[in-house]
Chain A
Amino acid sequence: GAGVSQSPRYKVTKRGQDVALRCDPISGHVSLYWYRQALGQGPEFLTYFNYEAQQDKSGLPNDRFSAERPEGSISTLTIQRTEQRDSAMYRCASSGYRDRVGKLFFGSGTQLSVL
């Protein structure tokens, strides 16, 4: 696609429910990153992939958070048993293989609200 696409744009859920957030990166981009951003804060790193391999998940807050990218393209970030503190903007970014220095292209994000 022309850019990074994320869905849904908005997600409202009740505490305790599971949610799945989707990211469709720019076609051909090898690296895919997930960030979380609270209001007034910069994006906070969660995890990233090269192709289908999860390279680093050190930013995932706890084991309720997981991510996958099974075919090296679309990625899903899953939050189980959501809590109110999980409410935030979740952003996905992708970058090309040779551009390892961090030139990222971001999607519009998914705004998650946990009631």
Chain B
Amino acid sequence: DAKTTQPTSMDCAEGRAANLPCNHSTISGNEYVYWYRQIHSQGPQYIIHGLKNNETNEMASLIITEDRKSSTLILPHATLRDTAVYYCIVRFPSGGSYIPTFGRGTSLIVHP
């Protein structure tokens, strides 16, 4: 099963780009990379996902390396409200099912 490794914490200045890395060196060919974030005590919120191509939506961009062993979530203009824990998830099968498994994530602090 693929696992992910993320830095425990990062900080970023407001208005600057926040680049959150994730290592998933054992990812297999049919596994997607998903990013979620969790603000305070709220439930995790979906941000973006991808398989091999870079993706962009209204919230963020996802850059996946060509070998798919790592990815970076980019918040192009971080705001104070982006302070949250960010989870990188790789979907992997367990007994034929597909269970999103969360690690400890990266705690991002955006400061003024």
Q: With A56-B97, A91-B43, A109-B41 in contact, is A42–B87 under 8 Å at CB?
A: yes
Q: Whole-angstrom distance from the CB of A77 to the nearest CB of chain B?
A: 15
Q: With A103-B46, A106-B43, A109-B41 in contact, is A45–B101 under 8 Å at CB?
A: yes
Q: Whose C-beta in chain B lies nearest to the C-beta of A101? A: B32
Chain B residues whose CB sits within 8 angstroms of the CB of A100 once the complex forms? 98
Chain A residues whose CB sits within 8 angstroms of the CB of B102 once the complex forms? 35, 42-45
> Do A48 and B99 touch across chains, with their CB atoms under 8 A apart?
yes
> Do A106 and B34 touch across chains, with their CB atoms under 8 A apart?
no
> Do A106 and B41 touch across chains, with their CB atoms under 8 A apart?
no
Q: Whole-angstrom distance from the CB of A44 to the nearest CB of chain B?
A: 8
- 1/0 contact string of B44-68 vs chain A (CB within 8 Å): 1110010000000000000000000
Quick one: which of B13-48 are within 8 Å of A by CB?
32, 34, 36, 41-46
Q: With A102-B89, A104-B46 in contact, is A48–B104 under 8 Å at CB?
A: no
* A interface size (C-beta, 8 A): 26
> Do B45 and A42 touch across chains, with their CB atoms under 8 A apart?
no
Chain A residues whose CB sits within 8 angstroms of the CB of B44 once the complex forms? 43, 93, 104, 106
Q: With A42-B105, A43-B44, A109-B43 in contact, is A102–B94 under 8 Å at CB?
A: no
Give the interface of B toward A (CB within 8 A): 32, 34, 36, 41-46, 49, 85, 87, 89, 91, 94-95, 97-105
